[in-house]
Amino acid sequence: MDEKIFYKNLGHNLKHLRKTKELTQDQFGSLFGLTKSAIVNYEAGIRKIPINLLYQIAQFHNVTIDSLICKKQTIKDVLNSEIGKLHLDQHEEDVLINFLHVFKGMKEGIKNGKSINQKQK
């Protein structure tokens, strides 16, 4: 992959994730001790982003570095990003996690030929 295309894709992903958190470039930059100008250049693919900063940004967004540098995001990345927008308290987060576990069980049951109304043994 061409280096310019690589940094352009990375910048696009950084911008998308920043916007999902509803942060301006100034606000996002201040979280990492960066200027708005630095964020503009990273998002435009003009400036190369240091690996340690890439790691910090991935942690902040709860995504992998791989998902930042690839064009395609995984469903896990999308869910984490969307859940981040909800600003859940601990109880709400626990309820959501429990729901996802129940959903996973239902999905596995359907895959194994059981109906949703059938009780699992």
3-state secondary structure 69-100: HCCCCCHHHHHHHHHHHHCCCHHHHHHHHHHH
CB 65 within 8 A of CB 55: yes
Q: Does residue 81 sit in the same domain as residue 112?
A: no
Using the predicted structure, report yes or no on whether residue 73 has a pLDDT greater than 70. Answer: no
Structure confidence at residue 75 (pLDDT): 65
Q: What is the pLDDT, as a whole number, of residue 60?
A: 93
**Residue 96, domain extent:** 88-121
pLDDT at residue 89, rounded to an integer:
87
- Same domain? For 11 and 67 the reply is yes
Output the CA–CA distances (angstroms, integers) from residue 64 to 46, 55, 87, in the order listed. 22, 8, 21
Output the domain CATH number for residue 59.
Answer: 1.10.260.40
> How many domains, in total, are found in the chain?
2
Task: Give 71's pLDDT tier (boundaries 50, 70, 90).
Answer: low
| Proportion of the chain above pLDDT 70, given as a percent | 85
pLDDT at 41 over 80: yes
Q: Which of 14-23, 78-87, 112-121 has the highest mean pLDDT?
A: 14-23
The answer on 80 and 95 residing in a single domain is no
